[in-house]
Structure 1
Amino acid sequence: MSVCDSVLGGCAALCRAVREPMAGTAPPRAKAWLAVEHPGPWPAFGWPADLPDAAAEVLTVAPAYDVRPQLIRRPDRAGRAPAAARTVYVAGGPPGGRWLERRVTGDLGDLAELDLAALPGGAAPGFGAPVGERLLLVCTHGKRDACCARYGAPVARELAGRGLPVWETTHLGGDQFAANLACLPDGTYHGLLDRASAADVAAACLRGEVTPAHFRGRAGVGPA
């Protein structure tokens, strides 16, 4: 049994009980994002063994350039099925000039084309097609922390059932605040979500707004 499971039903339950503050807990070094579709299973740390070596290498070095790597999948049974083509999202740009691109590829070795150093503060690289709407990521990484699956999976299914542009994703950080949601390309983080609160928070994110009661901060900037 993990520490998460042994304390009041998990770290997220304990966080709720003690009202742990969330402000300023978004990751300050995540100035750009690289989200790669993978059906799972996802190991607690590192990358799945079936991920191509070239893709794993890019994802491994990405944090050195302040690019946050994520694995993503659709929150339904089809999202667990292997697919010949994978969706890749890249987000970055300076404050006030954020952008989001999408590419569907049959070869994740394409990731080697990215200039990781240019993503955080530069123009859109043309790696994929521009995406005109925002994207929602909900952490469901149960092997990293059981709370993420326990709280995150119902939230992801709820948002998907409402037709919102949502993907399950690997570790977003701050497991005790599960369910956690990140919105791209803005990089805004919201936590302590459940099925009742998630729809309103997600709708606000898609309008480019934040919900103070659940707002953890904006990735890529300092806590203050």
Structure 2
Amino acid sequence: WVCLEFNAAWGRDVLDGTALGEELAAELSRRADAADVRIMFIRRPGRTDPLTDGHTVLLARSDPSDSWCERLRIDSPADLLDIDFALLDGPPPGLGDSVDEPVVLVCAHGKRDQCCAVFGRPIAAALMSSFGPQVWECSHTGGHRFAPSMILLPSGNTYGRLSAGESVTAVEVASRDQVHLPGLRGRSCWFPAGQASEVAVRQQISCGIDDLAIIKQASDGTCVVAHVDGRRWMVETAVSELAPRPPSCGAAPKPVRPVVVTSIRNL
């Protein structure tokens, strides 16, 4: 993850050139694709005034084998070009200060989907009152039909359709190295079948944030989930089909095909 504090207007996509200019956006997009890094905009809830003292940057890795988050300051968005994104796929690079508490990102990207702004901003404000500087509004997180959407870093655990109270609980639980299950959509570093599989195992056992990993995923959606203590589960998944529904505010209904777990067995 590369999260850039940016208070000026966001385009529909953070790297479409609207906010950063076409040349810088294109180069950052190229580097992000090469390193398999996601670039997002962040801002303090309710803040739209220009930044005068630089930009906060959050760097994070969500792989449970070594998840981490660092915070640093840069003078301008172009300074992101000084960061080797390849360093993010490994141990903490030491480019900034270590962030030990959960970082909370709430999608409020109204240019992408009005629901995110309408539902996300009140949640971000409520979380801000409880957790202060841990909380940011962020650009598009994916799956805006789940608005309000929330991501916790460094785990990358993604939540949808949580109330303000449930969101506060999710952050409190993460602060204790546990995972709040209601509203959990999965960990961002896994594909959908892996996300569903990990959540299903968590529903059966109590374990810490980084205790589970997807160590195998077959083409038919079957996954092997491993615990750090050696336990393993084989989880079978399938693609279901639900009645069509709007994927975002004002959009025409489309078929919904979620991944569902069909069986779990101990190995």
Which residue is 1:201 aligned to? 170
1:124 CA displacement? 1.6
Provide the residue aligned with 2:201 in structure 1. none
**Match of residue 163 from structure 1:** 131
- Look up the match of 2:45: 75
Alignment check: 8 A CA contact 1:52 1:109 kept = no
Alignment of 1:56-95 (within 5 A): 56-57=25-26, 59-61=28-30, 62-76=32-46, 79-84=47-52, 85-92=54-61, 94-95=63-64
- Give the conservation status (yes or no) of the 8 Å contact 2:4–2:56: yes
TM-score by length of 2: 0.65
Q: In the alignment, is residue 177 of structure 1 matched against residue 146 of structure 2?
A: yes
* Cα shift readout 1:6-29 (whole Å, capped 9, x = no counterpart): xxxxxxxxxxxxxxxxxxxxxxxx
CA contact (8 A) 1:63 1:69 kept: no
Alignment of 1:121-132 (within 5 A): 122-132=90-100
Does the 8 Å contact 2:62/2:153 carry over to 1?
Answer: no
Instruction: Name the structure 2 match of 1:40.
Output: 8
Q: Comparing both chains, which one has the higher relative contact order based on Cα–Cα distances under 8 Å and sequence gaps of 6 or more?
A: 1
Over the aligned positions, Cα root-mean-square deviation in angstroms equals: 2.0
How far apart in 2 are the matches of 1:40 and 1:205?
Answer: 31
CA-CA distance at 1:109 after TM superposition = 2.5
Question: Greater strand share, 1 or 2?
Answer: 2
Match of 1:134 in 2: 102
Calculate percent identity across the aligned residue pairs. 36
8 Å CA contact retained: 2:14, 2:40:
no
Distance 1:93 1:192, change over 3 A: closer
TM-score, normalised relative to structure 1: 0.77
Q: Give 5+ residue unaligned stretches, structure 1.
A: 1-32
Q: Any idea what SS the aligned residue of 1:80 has?
A: coil
Q: Deviations over 1:57-99 (max 9, x none)?
A: 45413134221110000003xx211113110010126423111
* Rounded Cα–Cα distance in structure 1 between residues aligned with 2:138 and 2:12: 12
Where does residue 187 of structure 1 map in the other structure? 156
Give the alignment partner of residue 143 of structure 1, picking from 97, 101, 111: 111
Sort the Cα spacing of 1:203 and 1:173 in 2 relative to 1 into closer, same or farther, 3 A. same
**Residue identity opposite 2:43 in structure 1:** R
1:43 to partner: Cα distance:
1.3
- Give the distance between the partners of 1:101 and 1:117, measured in 2 at CA: 15
User: Residues 96, 34 of structure 1: CA spacing in aligned structure 2 closer, same or farther, 3 A cutoff?
Assistant: same
1:104 is paired with a residue whose SS is strand
Q: Which has the greater radius of gyration?
A: 2
* Residue 198 (structure 1) shift: 1.7
In structure 2, the residue matched to 1:4 is none
What is the alpha-carbon distance in structure 2 between the residues aligned to residue 94 and residue 215 of structure 1?
17
Counterpart of 2:152 in structure 1: which amino acid? C
Matching residue's letter, 1:166: V
Structure 2: any 5+ residue segments left out of the alignment?
Answer: 195-267
Distance in 2 (CA, whole Å) between partners of 1:50 and 1:171 is 14
Taking a change above 3 Å as real, the CA distance of residues 108 and 43 of structure 1, as seen in their structure-2 partners, is: closer
Task: Name 1:28's counterpart in structure 2.
Answer: none
Farther off after superposition, 111-120 or 147-156: 111-120
Q: Secondary structure at the match of 2:57?
A: strand
